[in-house]
Amino acid sequence: MKAAVLQELEKISVEDVPEPVCGDNEAILKVESCAVCGSDIRIYHYGNDRVKPPAVIGHEISGRIVEAGKNVSRVSVGDRVALGADVPCGKCYWCTNGMGTNCKINYAIGYQFAGGFQEYMVLNQTTLDFGPVTPIPDHVGYDAACLAEPLACAINGLELANYSLGKSIAVIGLGPIGCMMLELSKLHGSTTVFAAQRSAGRMEMARPFRPDARFVLTSEEDLVETVMRETGGEGVDLVVTTAGSVKSHEDAVQIVRHRGYVNLFGGLKNQPKLELDSNLIHYKECFVMGSHGSLPRHHQKAVSLIAGDFVHAADYVSRTYPLSEINDAFAYHESRQGLKVVVKPGE
Ligand SMILES: [Zn+2]
Ligand SMILES: [Zn+2]
């Protein structure tokens, strides 16, 4: 079978490799769709402590079970499933207390476990026992279903920030996660919604996901000034920074209202530390927090929101590529011309 193997930094080659063998406690998934994530691109350029080349990455996955070991009851041959990325170990303090995203081991598909940029992959026992393996209804396409993974992370981010009906929100950074936040804001009945983005092209791509939001092009308009003016100096209940930039994090603390939440969702790798006026947090009594990844139950919610057409996952797919053109898929992702790029190992 074919697999896209990360050989070393900035080198992925499509190779013929042996088909995986299914153990008694394992299952084999035929990968139909695996979307490219920003973190795949970071691994490609900079590596990751949890990825040891040669390795197969890719963690936004959907496909069909083609083999199940004799002790496996969770899935059966023929099941259509989507996978999340984070796999709780199921045994540490965090996992046994329902906080698997903080698992000490922090297993993930496409990291320690081989990922989706290959024709067939193993679902190992830990994944089947504790991981995000969610059935997808027949009417949901594989390309849409694989995007349940990033959607699950967005859902976790909103849940941890105590987002609820009718709250006002500002989303800074309108990549795919930002657009998902906009769609989720509609489901929460938010009517005051700011959507901020530096580049005009990205902003236009995001507009259809929440046309009634107040879009702020931050290269031309000052976000802090705009939000404060248009909210009567109050700010918003929740600010989510999906753009991993120091400026977006600093702005977020400025525009959150008293008792509001700031979710520093976008990581800041290799960037300077924040200049944070802690007095702002002190006097606002606001909550500055972060989130990353998701739990299996978020992944289940994500699949059901996609299946119910509450989140329009298919609309995020700008292009698809066969596995043989994975390097083109990565280049297209990096060009930022589209939202999501999906690799199709079966084509
Ligand atoms: Zn991802
Ligand atoms: Zn754990």
Distance 66 CA to ligand 1 centre (A): 24
DSSP 208: G
- Please give the CATH topology (third level) of the domain spanning 2-150+294-344: Quinone Oxidoreductase; Chain A, domain 1 (3.90.180)
pLDDT value of residue 99: 97
**What is the average pLDDT across 221-228?**
98
Of residues 323, 337, 240, the one with CA closest to residue 1: 323
Of residues 227, 239, 191, 229, the one with CA closest to residue 212: 191
β-bridge pairing 27-35 and 60-68? antiparallel
* Confidence band for 52, pLDDT divided at 50, 70 and 90: very high
Confidence check: pLDDT of 268 > 90: no
pLDDT value of residue 261: 98
Confidence check: pLDDT of 267 > 90: no
Share of the chain above pLDDT 70, in %: 100
Residue 290 tokens read as 């972060």
CATH class of 162-290: alpha beta
Sign of CA dihedral 207, 298, 60, 79: negative
Distance 305 CA to ligand 2 centre (A): 27
Give residue 55's identity as a one-letter amino acid code: A
**What is the average pLDDT across 266-278?**
85
Distance 313 CA to ligand 2 centre (A): 30
Of residues 310, 156, 341, the one with CA closest to residue 240: 156
**What is the average pLDDT across 134-154?**
98
Three-state DSSP class for 107? Answer: strand
Tell me the pLDDT tens digit for each residue of 173-218: 999 999 999 999 999 999 999 999 999 999 999 999 999 999 999 9
pLDDT value of residue 271: 83
Cβ count within 10 A of residue 118: 26
pLDDT value of residue 347: 86
**What is the average pLDDT across 121-145?**
98
Q: How far is CA 186 from the centre of its chain?
A: 19
Give start-end residues of each CATH 3.40.50.720 domain in the chain.
162-290
* Confidence band for 270, pLDDT divided at 50, 70 and 90: confident
Confidence check: pLDDT of 244 > 90: no
Tell me the pLDDT tens digit for each residue of 287-318: 999 999 999 999 999 999 999 999 999 999 99
Cβ count within 10 A of residue 191: 12
Distance 96 CA to ligand 1 centre (A): 24
Distance 107 CA to ligand 2 centre (A): 8
pLDDT value of residue 161: 98
Least confident of 21-25, 203-207, 244-248: 244-248
Give start-end residues of each CATH 3.90.180.10 domain in the chain.
2-150+294-344
Distance 92 CA to ligand 2 centre (A): 4
Distance 334 CA to ligand 2 centre (A): 33
Confidence check: pLDDT of 14 > 90: yes
Q: How far is 79 from 30, CA to CA, in rounded Å?
A: 10
Q: Average model confidence (pLDDT) for the chain?
A: 97
Ligand with the closest atom to the CA of 100 = 2
**What is the average pLDDT across 62-84?**
98
Confidence check: pLDDT of 16 > 80: yes
Q: How far is 143 from 293, CA to CA, in rounded Å?
A: 20
**What is the average pLDDT across 23-49?**
97
CA distances to 9, 52, 116, 117, 119 from 5, in Å:
11, 11, 11, 8, 12
pLDDT value of residue 191: 97
pLDDT value of residue 323: 98
pLDDT value of residue 231: 98
Confidence check: pLDDT of 31 > 80: yes
pLDDT value of residue 54: 97
Share of the chain above pLDDT 90, in %: 95
Distance 234 CA to ligand 1 centre (A): 34
